[in-house]
Amino acid sequence: MRLWYPIFMFGQVLIYALVAGTQVLFLALALYLVYLVSKVVNLALGGIATAVAYGFYFSFVVMSWPVVVCVLFTLIVAAVLGFVNYALNERLTARDQHLFAMITSFAFALSLEAVIPMLFGSDAKSLFTGITQSIILGEYQIPVPGLIILIGGVIIALVASFLYFYTPIGRKLRAISEHHAVAMSLGIDQSRFRLVMYIFAAIIAGAIGILFGFNSALTPTMGFNLVAMAFMALLVGGASDLRGVIVASFLVSVIPELIVGLAGGVSASWRLPIVFLIAVISLLIRPEGLFSKRKRLS
């Protein structure tokens, strides 16, 4: 039996919105992890996502290497970029110059986005030629890359929450986030934690860049659009609150997606301004974050 058309449309748009939300969640989590250990909003992640995706394009499409080699090569690219990002920011972070570190990460992203068109040209690149496979669920369909993002996002959110709240690693992360001087006096090697988090965040960002490439085309400037939504989620959710970041990631994705999908005459390019409007309203009402009770101090 066919569903009533408005319900079908709502469901289909909601599926796409959830995929978009999960994509934002990935990057927001990457931003959150780096913020947790360094108090730096790492704007380089957008540029890293783009660079890693182009690295995959180089190995997979240009060189036609086997998939395992491509994955290894891409992981190395992500790790190297994560390390460079860490090396550029570490001295500033250690001196508590968080805004300087943010500007440095922004400049690093810009330099990556300037180098990519020099190497690969500024036209859009495709990781995949042909029709994207879709999974049919009743009357709804989900593209395979979207499904991978959705499942991966749920797993990552659950694992991150578990690690953060219930394991010694999570406790150390929270300790560094709460008071880095006290954490240092307890023997926690913050510098190593930061290095691991920068590399881990670069790998997550790279994975999203590649999946984005399978969903649509690669362009040198795609990174900023990706990261813009993620740091709106970080702002709305509260940079020190994991639950807030998770909820805000879906909030800033689902609302604009529903407006664009269901309201006639609103093009997809209005997504970001709508997100910005949501962020303005949310920050005016709850500047400290969605669920935070205390005043945000940074």
Partner 1 sequence: MGYIILQLARFFETLILAVGTHLAISVGGIFFFGFSVTYLIGSYAVAIAAEAGIGISSSILIAIGFSLLGGLLCALMYRRLSNDGFAVFMVASVFAFDAVLKSWDSVTGGTLGIAGIVRPSFAPTLTSLMILEGVLAAVILLVEFVILKSPFGRALIAHKESPRLLNATGISAKKVGMIVIIFASVLSGISGIVGAWRIQFLDPTFGGVMYLVFGLTVAILAIKPKIQWIIGSSAFCLLLPEIIRFLPLPSSIFANVRSLIYAVLLIVLIRWLSDKHTDHKRLV
41: its two tokens: 């909003």
Collapsed DSSP state (helix, strand, coil) of residue 142: strand
- Does the footprint of partner 1 cover residue 224 (CB under 8 A)? yes
With tokens 């408005």, the residue in question is 6
Which CB atom, from 185 or from 267, has the smaller least distance to partner 1?
Answer: 267
With tokens 């807030």, the residue in question is 244
Q: What is the DSSP string of 144-161?
A: HHHHHHHHHHHHHHHHHH
With contacts defined by CB under 8 A, name the span among 16-24, 66-74, 193-201, 275-283 that binds partner 1.
275-283
- Does the footprint of partner 1 cover residue 216 (CB under 8 A)? no
- Does the footprint of partner 1 cover residue 27 (CB under 8 A)? no
Cα distance between residue 238 and residue 28, in whole Å: 11
- Does the footprint of partner 1 cover residue 19 (CB under 8 A)? no
Residues 6+ apart with CB under 8 A from 242: 32, 160, 161, 164
Question: Do 266 and 259 touch, CB atoms closer than 8 A?
Answer: yes
With contacts defined by CB under 8 A, name the span among 11-19, 175-183, 188-196, 269-277 that binds partner 1.
269-277
CB 261 → partner 1: shortest distance, Å? 16
Which CB atom, from 191 or from 225, has the smaller least distance to partner 1?
Answer: 225
Among 12, 79, 97, 134, binds partner 1 (CB under 8 A): 97
52: its two tokens: 């890693």
- Does the footprint of partner 1 cover residue 275 (CB under 8 A)? yes
Collapsed DSSP state (helix, strand, coil) of residue 267: coil
275: its two tokens: 């997100």
Which positions lie near partner 1, rule CB under 8 A?
A: 39, 41, 43, 88, 91-92, 95, 97-100, 102-104, 106-108, 110-111, 113-115, 117-118, 224-225, 228, 231-232, 234-235, 239, 267, 269-273, 275-276, 279-280, 283-284, 287, 296-298
